[in-house]
Each structure stands twice: as structure tokens, then as C-alpha cells.
Chain A
Amino acid sequence: LAKTTQPISMDSYEGQEVNITCSHNNIATNDYITWYQQFPSQGPRFIIQGYKTKVTNEVASLFIPADRKSSTLSLPRVSLSDTAVYYCLVGDVNTGNQFYFGTGTSLTVIP
């Protein structure tokens, strides 16, 4: 079961780009990397998922190096509403079970 390591917390000013890195040294061949966002008293919300190289969607980019032992979530031009906890998960999307959330990174966006 691949586990992840993330910084516990980060601060950023509004309008800046934020990069949150996740370490997953034991990632398996079939594992994908998925990021979730969670606001207080709400369930996590899917942000982005990838296997290798770079994935981009309308809210974020995900960078994955060739060895796949880490990944970086990039949030462009953050706003106050991006203040949340961000979780990095690794897991086999085909079997889909036992996704390990870890403690996540608490991002605070400062005006």
C-alpha cells in the first residue's frame, strides 16, 4: 500500500502560483496519482489525476517526473477560496480500493 508524504501546511498570497509536492516512494506500476481538495465540514472534492508527465485541467496542473516517486500539484493564481486541505493519494484505479489519504497539506491563502 503506497503511502504519501506532504508538507503539513503552506501559506500563499492571493494571485500567486502554489506548488504542493507529494512524495510516494513506494508507488506501484499500476498506481495513479490523485489529488483532492477538502473544505471544513465537507467531503473531499476531486481535483486532478495522472499517471506520468503532465496533466492539466481547468483548475490545476499535475507534474509527475519519470520515476513517479513524487508529484507536484500546481494551483495557478490562488484566491482566498482556495484555502483548504489538499490530499495526495496513490492507488490502482483498476482495483480502486484502499486509497490512502494521509494528513494532507493545509493551504492558507492570505489577502
Chain B
Amino acid sequence: ETGVTQSPTHLIKTRGQQVTLRCSSQSGHNTVSWYQQALGQGPQFIFQYYREEENGRGNFPPRFSGLQFPNYSSELNVNALELDDSALYLCASSLAGAGLWEQYFGPGTRLTVT
């Protein structure tokens, strides 16, 4: 059983640029959620995708967008990067409908915006 993987591990971008982060879900999982975790804080929910459709969104602006592909892998895109976007971005996969909400998290992508 393959766990959740994310790429890249680390990334440095300049303010105003755009970034794409990638996530490969655990085998058999059909739902992916993205979180932003600032230093010393808990993960903040960005959005969730189920069957390639957005299935819920947290309090993040539209410049945060995502995609889920037929193989359930996912991308998080952030446009017009701001300094406050510097954080650890976590992807979590799960199996919706199983009645037990157990999310499996990847190791995260550390984004630094300068």
C-alpha cells in the first residue's frame, strides 16, 4: 500500500509568482484535502476534492485553486503569491463513504515566499 506523497519537498518563490504543488493520494482513496500550516499553528483547511469536484472550501481567497485528476491525484495552485503564503502545505487523502473519517497526510511541501 503506497502512502500519500507530495512534491516538491521544498520550494522558494518570489512574491507575485505562481506555484503548483502536487499530491498523490493513497491507493484506493477518492477524496483529497489540502491544508496550510503556518509555523506554530494547526493546519488550516483550504479545500477538499471528491470525484474531481470541489467538495468544501475554507476561508481562503480564489487565488488558491485546485484540481483532482481521475487517478485521484491532486494539485494545489496559488497565484499572486504573498509573503504570508509561506507555510507547510499538507495534502490528505481519505475514502469518503467509509463512515470513518481517517485522513492520511503526506509529509508536506514547505513553501517560502520572498
Chain A interfacial positions (CB closer than 8 Å to B): 32, 34, 41-46, 49, 85, 87, 91, 93-104
**Majority DSSP secondary structure for residues of A touching B:** loop
| Given A43-B4, A96-B101, A98-B45: 9 more A-B contacts, CB < 8 Å | A34-B101, A44-B103, A49-B100, A49-B101, A94-B97, A96-B96, A97-B55, A98-B56, A101-B35
Please give me the residue from chain B that is nearest to A97 by CB atom.
B56
Q: Which of A85, A91, A95 has the most CB of B within 10 A?
A: A95
Question: Can you list 25 A-B contacts with CB-CB less than 8 angstroms, sorted by A residue number?
Answer: A41-B88, A42-B107, A42-B108, A43-B90, A43-B92, A43-B106, A43-B107, A44-B103, A46-B102, A49-B102, A85-B42, A93-B99, A94-B99, A95-B56, A96-B50, A96-B94, A97-B45, A97-B55, A97-B56, A98-B48, A98-B56, A99-B103, A101-B35, A101-B44, A103-B41
